[in-house]
Amino acid sequence: MVEWRVKNKMSDVIAVLMVCNEKLVCIDYDRPVWLAKYSSELRCTPNIDHFVVDGILGTLSNESLTKLGITKRFGTVDFEKINSNNELDDARKTLYASKDLDIKYFHDFNGDIQIHQDLARFMMPILKVEKLLTKELLELAE
């Protein structure tokens, strides 16, 4: 059992992303939070207009971000509270334009509109979009 599962209700999982072979889980509390499965310390609250890219910037490992050309670490950030700045804008543009970013998106029901809208901004096609039963999504998030 991962540490964050104890603190969070798994029924609040709204999506799972596989990005560069790393699992990122979006939990919806009062506000959505992206969590990294490989590290219980990496979590972030995305800006609603950059829902997925902020989740990636806030929770993907340093090694994967570096391979994608991102040198600034944005982990454990509330992106809603960050005013636009050059480093963040450049990092978002780099990820949106990346040809090396592999994303697999798993959701239940109809998915999340903010996730769908932000995924449409990426130049690289999403490798897989899969609708799962709620139980299957929860198991994948484990």
pTM above 0.85, yes or no: yes
pLDDT confidence of residue 29: 75
Reported as a single tens digit per residue, the pLDDT across 108-134 is 887 889 999 999 999 988 888 999 998
Phi, psi of 98 (to 5 degrees): -60, 135
Cα dihedral sign, 63-52-41-73? positive
Q: By the 8 A CB rule, do 24 and 55 touch?
A: yes
* Residues paired with residue 104 on neighbouring β-strands, in sequence order: 18, 128
pLDDT given for residue 1 in this prediction: 31
pLDDT digits (tens, 9 = 90+) for 24-78: 999 987 789 999 988 878 899 999 999 999 999 999 999 999 999 999 888 878 9
Percent helix, strand, coil in the chain, to 5, is 40, 25, 35
